[in-house]
Structure 1
Amino acid sequence: MNKHFDEAYRILAANDRGGYTVPTDRLYPFQWNWDSAFVAMGFATFDIDRAYRELERLTEGQWEDGMIPHIVFHQPSDTYFPGPDVWRTSHTIPTSGITQPPVFGIALRAVHEAAETAGSEDAKARTLTLFHAALKWHRWWYSARDPEGTGLVALLHPWESGSDNSPAWDIALSRVPTSTETAVVRKDTGHVDAAMRPRDEDYRRFIHLVDTYAACGWNPVQQWEKAPFKVAEVQTTAILLKAGEDLLHLAGVLGLDEAAEELAVYNLLTRNALQAQWRPQLSRFVSRDLISNEDIDAPTHAGFIPLLALDLDKDIVDAAAAEMRLWSNGMKVAFPTTKPFVGSFEAKRYWRGPSWAIINWLLIDGLARNGLTDMAAGLRSNTVSAIETEGFAEYFDPITGEGCGGLGFSWTGAAYLCLAE
């Protein structure tokens, strides 16, 4: 066992708060949705019970309508803004009012298969309970975030993408007013260099959206009508489809025929819609701004995430691979979240350029799925090497390789456990 595995275990233990994991101390002191799904897969490599527990604690925050929020505030903390008082939601446990990419279904299959391999006696019962929570959430996505039945799900807040300040949102977000009812009291820049975080103007727009939806009482129909930001997003849709495939597999394992039929319908609809977002002239997939009804052609990593969920024709695979190689050329740590050296690229600023281990994990799986095994192996090796060199940072400067953002980061530890095996 190398020392980096030991360090990954230590980080997950240090960030454990009693059955759930915080992304890192102080900067993110609560349970985050997609973080926990990645973390559960990390735990599944060495502690099945704890992997299940991570997902179970997340579902404690699930709303009656099926949404699993992006933050569950299990315990109070004053080191993070916006806290429960800003969100003004009415769930039993305080939560945020928006969601995050549904990695949950992907994680559930990984945890279940690890449990089966280990001969865990309660695997089927625990998986079944979590399966129903996941299915309820997928139903929410298709009803609340695709009410017109297009197959692409929409985000009503950039935070729902997980890629908070990506250049993908620049145009759509610029239409959102900077006025807020809530005083914006940033805590993040007290923990991390402001040059690595979203700008103040971004935060005012983020909080304007929170105020808008809180005024709707978090009613999905009213939010859809009032949303000043509405993007049918390819990264989230691709993750939903991959999770839908994994849930369909589990439905077969669990003998849930009706659920399997329902998931198959969702998956087919989304598969066709996602494939239609390929743009040959850009060599990537694009999201759509549903307010302007225009393509979002900002060059971000999200344009390649559909590889995760689609079995693509060779010409598309070749074109996407060539474009990905172009972006990675000369980078110390691939894969940059914005195309290097375009106007919006910032090597150290959060989602405007830095490389993230969990994004690489999704891309590695997508490349392997589409037959690009050497490229997948190269990205895996590059990611593992970055972590071994710089530590378990939140993300990495792709040019210098420097670890940036929060340190001792849970999902980077989980990524290492899964990618370095």
Structure 2
Amino acid sequence: MSDDIKLDRHDDARAILARNDRGGYTVPTDRLYPFQWNWDSAFVAMGFATFDIDRAYRELERLIEGQWEDGMIPHIVFHAPSDTYFPGADVWGTRHRIPTSGITQPPVFGMALRFIHDAAVAAGRQDALERTRPLFAAALRSHRWWMKARDPERRGLVAILHPWESGSDNSPAWDEALARVPTTTTTQIRRKDTGHVDAAMRPRDVDYQRFIHLVDTYRDCGWNPEKQWASAPFKVADVQMTGILARATADLIRLAAVLGAQDEVAELSEMHRLLTEGLGRRWRDSLRRFVSLDLVSGEDIEAPTQAGFIPLVAVTLDGQQRAAVAAEIARWCDGMVVSLPSTAPFSPAFEPKRYWRGPVWAVINWLMADGLRANAMNELAGSLERGTVWAIEQAGFCEYFDPTTGEGLGGNTFSWTAAAYLVLSRRVTDG
């Protein structure tokens, strides 16, 4: 592909971020997701940092407007009303000063903050410390919330109480645990997503019934973390979530040192030790990846999904483990037009077009590449990055991609796909 076409795609990516800008925060895509989403915005902020550092900082500043007093950063901040999404603020019934959802999402925030700070320093910005400091404080409060509210038994693994918190809403990893959740609800379900996207690409209706049952349950708890933990019918110690939290904690350690916050360096270092040790115990030689833990049944979750590789962003594998991961990833990629599928193609649960049951996601490949590079698996990381850039250049800035065909799926003009392109295409060009 010529340099001119590549330049056009960069312009297109920046135009998508501008199109989805709603005044200092970015919606994932128009109508389908009309509010500010937590981990979407963290990735988007890193995309902005490649060309507009002020706007990158502003994305995170707008996100923490929704941060709760206890430190939780919700998964949705309803800055402005919209009737194109369900469940809206009325269903969540939270009592924050700004309407928000009552659950959270993967804590990419700390990773994004370091990325932006480093970009600001590299650009010679004199205000880098001033802009970073309050955001660091917010991130630290969030990490403290995670450790207190979602790992009260100090396993070194943080739990999700709703599949939406994982970011991988309808992943096969949750099938058994979610099947125990009743389908009864006290909320009328008025799905809007299937009016924007083919229902064959979205979670099933029965999944939504269980999703909303969980919302009802936690709303009845008054969104109190202790009550939610005690009453949760769905409770999973998630290795993807824990891996991202551990990596973000390492990034906060670096920022704390730069900010001269030595007490916080010590606190975060202990947090990081606990999380990485917890992750280390979740490695399974026989599966050649990490596994989550169903805290209700006490059983390993062995469904082969992308979550099993995400801990690479935080842990250091030994030589035998690196060889095992490389072999397992090769097995998943065999015969695929675009990799890495979010569910292994040899799994009976694999659906190449349905949301988190098979499609390729640019931001997951971004995390995967980071983890592979951190473990000196640079060739494999580069292959994933090149494949992701190729898929976007061929199919456009879609929400996700069919691994068997490369077809773009879900929402279009998607913000975090544009952000991933801006970051990963730079690596491909530089590499």
Same topology, TM > 0.5: yes
The Cα shift of 1:121 comes to: 2.1
Match of 1:241 among 240, 246, 254: 246
Letter in 2 for 1:155: I
User: Matches of 1:271 and 1:284 in 2, distance apart?
Assistant: 15
Matched, 1:155 2:160: yes
User: Matches of 2:31 and 2:178 in 1, distance apart?
Assistant: 28
Three-state SS of the structure 1 residue aligned to 2:216 is helix
1:358 matched residue in structure 2: 363
The Cα shift of 1:119 comes to: 1.5
Matched, 1:49 2:31: no
Three-state SS of the structure 1 residue aligned to 2:309 is helix
1:132 matched residue in structure 2: 137
The Cα shift of 1:329 comes to: 0.9
Match of 1:405 among 393, 406, 410: 410
Question: Which runs of structure 2 are paired with 1:343-354 in the superposition (5 Å)?
Answer: 343-354=348-359
Letter in 2 for 1:101: P
2:375 matched residue in structure 1: 370
In terms of mean alpha carbon deviation, does 232-241 or 335-344 score higher? 335-344
Matched, 1:267 2:267: no
Matched, 1:392 2:397: yes
The Cα shift of 1:120 comes to: 1.5
Match of 1:207 among 209, 212, 220: 212
1:318 matched residue in structure 2: 323
Runs of 4+ in 1 over 6 A off after TM superposition: none
2:308 matched residue in structure 1: 303
User: Matches of 1:321 and 1:287 in 2, distance apart?
Assistant: 20
Deviations 1:34-70 (A, max 9, x none): 0000000000000000000000000000000000000
User: Matches of 2:9 and 2:125 in 1, distance apart?
Assistant: 27
User: Matches of 2:179 and 2:148 in 1, distance apart?
Assistant: 27
1:75 matched residue in structure 2: 80
Deviations 1:72-97 (A, max 9, x none): 00000000000000000000000000
In terms of mean alpha carbon deviation, does 254-263 or 115-124 score higher? 115-124
User: Matches of 1:277 and 1:409 in 2, distance apart?
Assistant: 33
User: Matches of 2:325 and 2:141 in 1, distance apart?
Assistant: 33
Three-state SS of the structure 1 residue aligned to 2:155 is coil
Match of 2:146 among 134, 141, 146: 141
Unaligned runs of 5+ in 2: 427-431
1:339 matched residue in structure 2: 344
Deviations 1:139-189 (A, max 9, x none): 000000000111100000000000000000000000000000000100000
Cα root mean square deviation, aligned? 0.6
Letter in 1 for 2:244: I
Deviations 1:284-342 (A, max 9, x none): 10000000000000000100011111111010111011000100011001000000032
Q: Percent identity?
A: 67
What TM-score, normalized to structure 2?
A: 0.97
Letter in 2 for 1:91: H
Three-state SS of the structure 2 residue aligned to 1:288 is strand
Deviations 1:107-138 (A, max 9, x none): 00000000111112221011000000000000
What TM-score, normalized to structure 1?
A: 1.00
Letter in 1 for 2:367: L
Letter in 2 for 1:128: R
User: Matches of 1:59 and 1:123 in 2, distance apart?
Assistant: 18
Three-state SS of the structure 1 residue aligned to 2:357 is coil
Matched residue count: 421
Three-state SS of the structure 2 residue aligned to 1:82 is coil
Deviations 1:351-396 (A, max 9, x none): 0000000000000011111111111111111000000000000000
Letter in 1 for 2:423: C
Question: Which runs of structure 2 are paired with 1:118-197 in the superposition (5 Å)?
Answer: 118-197=123-202
1:9 matched residue in structure 2: 14
2:122 matched residue in structure 1: 117
User: Matches of 1:114 and 1:173 in 2, distance apart?
Assistant: 41
